[in-house]
Amino acid sequence: MPAVLVLAAASHPGAFAVDVVATVAAAWLVVCACGIQGRGILETATAWLLSLTALVGGAGVILGETGGLGAAGFLALHAAVLAALAFLRRRGLAGDLAALRGAWDRARAFLNERSPESVATRCMLLVLGVLTVLAAWAEPATADGLTYHMPRIGQWLQDGRVHELASQDERMNFVATVPDLAMAWLLGGTSVGFRPADLAQAIGGMLAFLATVGLARQTGLGRLPSVLAGALLFGMANVAVQFTSSQTDLFTAGAFSAAFFLWLAAWQRGESSVLGGAGAGLALGAKGTLFYLAPGFVVWVAFVAWKRPLAWPLWRRTVVAAVLGVELFAMPLFLHNSRDFGDPLGPKEWVGKLHQGAGSNREFLEKLTWNLECSVAQVFEPQSQPVLLRGAGRAVVAQLENHVPIRDPYTLDGLSRKSTLQ
């Protein structure tokens, strides 16, 4: 009976609110431990939100493996992490609180300005706020949400752990778990339905926006053009839609782009980035799509390392953080899949279906060519361009449409590349 009462109390909105406060506070202490609290508003906000996401995802993985998954487990683990961080930083807590007040004052002063960049930022915050409210109120009614995301989250919470489920849909077992565990945490304030699980995607969208603006600043753009670059993100085909859905793509993209931004900002200062490394591991634990982003990421990292070499001890901290992030967020699923399906990525038939490998060098080059053409077409997608450039974007996409086939053996479920671009 006492255990039942504890679980019931932990599912109360008030208990969940305590958990949220504890997690937010712990995330701020992580930011301070990484030495980011005195940086710019943008970098600080990105690090804070990424730390929050990592704390939730990491707690979900640990609780799912140990049998404590649920509102009570999240609250207890987050409270323990907060207590541990507060103890470790006991000599600097006054400075951490002062840094929080300073960050708040700087943000408020900037938003109170009447400059174009301040007005643009307030407008974007309004857009983010509206989308977040919609995400909190939305029912998870997407196909993926109804077929495997919500069913397995519900079963995990009932059983208190992540384990293999008896289902004809094998996605219930082999698909990455971190975003679903974040959704499970968000359900801690309710015992009925699946609202506000879609907030996990909204968090990913916020991270993607912050990272886009931050990366624009890293390239040398001014404040206003950088904010407008972030606004362009919502013109992309899947961003605004997925912001309020029970998918996981935006969650993954937000985590990875935020990690890359934090790493790049640290590199510009000649520093290592523990959060950047750990965030990359978080993104890998969120979706296997990251394997497709890895080649481009490696190229950029190699270019950055060549342009401004850093001492190995600085690289080592980032690499160690990335390895530990992979071990925490991704490795448990890889081990489960290896044990249950004989492949770290999942059942061979699903791996083949989702990845559609090429059988020969000629087929590989053929697939690579079509994939690159479709990727370029996505970059020039008209609705993602400023108004004056949409005509040029349509012209580029129209030319690329003529180079891809109507049907080919490398697409998921026989989808037509040409029809998709059209």
Does the pLDDT value for residue 144 go beyond 80?
yes
Model confidence at 201, pLDDT cuts 50, 70, 90, reads: very high
For residues 74 and 414, the model is more confident at 74
Q: What is the pLDDT of residue 4?
A: 36
**Residue boundaries of the structural domains of the chain:** 2-354, 364-421
For residues 61 and 332, the answer to whether their CB atoms sit within 8 Å is yes
φ, ψ of residue 17 in degrees (nearest 5): -60, -40
pLDDT of residue 298 exceeding 80: yes
Contact 251, 264 (CB under 8 A): no
Query: What type of residue is 262?
Result: L
**Weakest mean pLDDT among 129-133, 329-333, 352-356:** 352-356
Mean pLDDT for 160-180 is 87
CB 47 within 8 A of CB 31: yes
12 closest CA partner among 268, 228, 187, 137: 187
- Do the Cβ atoms of 117 and 224 come closer than 8 Å? yes
Q: What is the mean pLDDT of residues 320-325?
A: 94
- Predicted pLDDT at 8: 39
Mean pLDDT across 172-179: 88
In eight-state DSSP terms, residue 166 is -
Higher pLDDT, 43 or 412: 43
For residues 311-335, average pLDDT: 91
- Model confidence band, residue 208 (pLDDT cutoffs 50, 70, 90): very high
Q: What is the pLDDT of residue 9?
A: 42
pLDDT in tens, 26-77: 999 999 999 998 888 999 999 999 999 999 999 999 999 999 998 999 999 9
- pLDDT range class, residue 94, cuts 50, 70, 90: very high
Q: What does pLDDT average to over the chain?
A: 86
> Which pair of tokens denotes residue 313?
């001890």
Identify the pLDDT of residue 81.
96
**Range from 102-106, 178-182, 230-234 carrying the lowest mean pLDDT:** 230-234
Please report the pLDDT score of residue 183 as a whole number.
93
* Tens of pLDDT, residues 344-365: 888 887 777 777 666 677 878 8
Q: Specify whether the CB–CB gap between 173 and 116 falls below 8 A.
A: no
72-76, 242-246, 282-286, 400-404: segment of lowest average pLDDT: 400-404
> pLDDT, tens digit, for every residue of 259-276?
999 999 999 888 889 999
Share of the chain above pLDDT 90, in %: 45
Output the CA–CA distances (angstroms, integers) from residue 66 to 33, 160, 181, 334, in the order listed: 27, 9, 14, 17
| Cβ atoms 255, 286 nearer than 8 A | yes
Where is average pLDDT lowest: 18-32, 301-315, 356-370? 356-370
**What residues contact 41, with CB distance under 8 A and at least 6 apart?**
103, 106, 107, 110
What was the pLDDT predicted at 10?
47
User: Per-residue pLDDT for 396 more than 50?
Assistant: yes
Residue 312's pLDDT is: 83
Of 1 and 244, the structure prediction assigns the larger pLDDT to 244
Residue 328: pLDDT band (50, 70, 90) is: very high
216 or 361: which carries more pLDDT confidence? 216
Residue 252: exposed, middle, or buried by beta-carbon count in 10 A (0-12, 13-18, 19+)?
buried
pLDDT of residue 1: 34
Report whether pLDDT(400) > 60: yes
Q: What is the mean pLDDT of residues 327-350?
A: 88
Q: What angle do CA 76, 79, 84 make, to 5 degrees?
A: 125
- What is the rounded distance in angstroms from the CA atom of residue 302 to the CA atom of residue 307? 9
Q: How confident is the model at residue 291 (pLDDT cuts 50, 70, 90)?
A: confident
Q: Given a cut of 80, is residue 2 above it in pLDDT?
A: no
The predicted structure's pLDDT at residue 365: 85
Query: pLDDT of 248-262, one tens digit each?
Result: 889 999 999 999 999
